Amino acid sequence: MSKRNSGREATKHPQTQNPAASDSMGARGARTGESDAEGIAGAAPSNTAPDNSKFHYQPLRWGVDSLYLSYPGLLSPDRVSQLRHLKSMAQGPDHEAAKAQLQLGSHIFEVKDKSSGLFAFTLVDGSYMIRLGAGKSKQLPMAYVQVSSQLLSHKGPREIESELRDLLRQLGEVHAPKVSRVDLFLDFACDLSMEGWSREAWVTRACAVNQYAEDKTFTGWTIGAGGALMARLYHKLLECKKSGKE
């Protein structure tokens, strides 16, 4: 905007143009990659300016695909005893294991016979996988929850979190959650071959930029794998066929 304003001022007052302002404009042009002599924009790829590529696409769906929440708090002693009993039942014969269920609100959770890491209990239904700590470690959250992608396609994250906190309040003292992981998605269609892109096409600080193929068919890219922030671009139809999703 400031560059366009300066241009208008120079046009209005060609006889009184400030040489210092002209030098400043030239410096700005050099920084953005413009050629003052030819007046042609030649800015390098940037994540702060609109691109001028011919990549056109049709967005189909977008939103949150995966959500992992960590809840500080403390399980009540009564619930710890109940969960230990249900976990013991889950480790027994099939007719006993089938009874290892816990109802919270409208959800009926299966209590698993084993848990993960330092978490003592794992509860699972079609909406949530909830891992619960027994209060032995102050650094361990009361609950670590994975929200199913099916639920995320049906409800928004705020509505889900509100319901989830109400469920966890039935187990003990619970506080506001922290987001441990979130995956955002965009499904789109386009007629451009993304296999022909070079690694330099990605504007990123990530060192890991990888291209993938399966049975001689291009399947996608990953950028920043193993880092705190990563991105994937993949062939959705092929992924659905391979995973059996309808």
**CA separation (Å) from 51 to 179, 191, 231?**
32, 18, 19
Distance CA(228)–CA(225), nearest Å, equals 9
According to DSSP, residue 35 is labeled B
Q: Domain residue spans in the chain?
A: 2-32, 64-182, 193-243
Q: How much is the average pLDDT of 73-95?
A: 95
Distance CA(117)–CA(114), nearest Å, equals 10
What's residue 18's pLDDT? 44
Q: Measured on CA atoms in the order 24, 27, 33, 38, is the torsion positive or negative?
A: positive
pLDDT band at 245 (very low <50, low <70, confident <90, very high): confident
What's residue 44's pLDDT? 67
Distance CA(218)–CA(236), nearest Å, equals 12
pLDDT exceeds cutoff 50 at 223: yes
Can you give the pTM of this predicted structure?
0.72
The larger pLDDT score, comparing residue 122 to residue 10, is at 122
Residue with tokens 């959500």: 67
Residues 6 or more apart in contact with residue 132 via CB below 8 angstroms: 75, 83, 115, 119, 120, 121, 122, 123, 142, 143, 171
- Secondary structure, 3-state, 132-160: ECCCCCCCCCCEEEEECHHHHCCCCHHHH
- Take residue 134 and report the two structure tokens written for it: 């027994």
Q: Are 90 and 100 in contact (CB under 8 A)?
A: yes
What's residue 239's pLDDT? 86
Can you state the angle between helices 2-12 and 19-32, rounded to 10 degrees? 140
What's residue 116's pLDDT? 86
pLDDT for 25-62, tens place per residue? Answer: 444 444 444 444 444 555 666 667 666 667 788 999 99
What's residue 91's pLDDT? 95
Phi, then psi, of 155 in degrees rounded to 5:
-130, 160
Q: How much is the average pLDDT of 137-161?
A: 91
Distance CA(98)–CA(107), nearest Å, equals 16
pLDDT exceeds cutoff 90 at 123: yes
What's residue 33's pLDDT? 42
pLDDT band at 196 (very low <50, low <70, confident <90, very high): confident
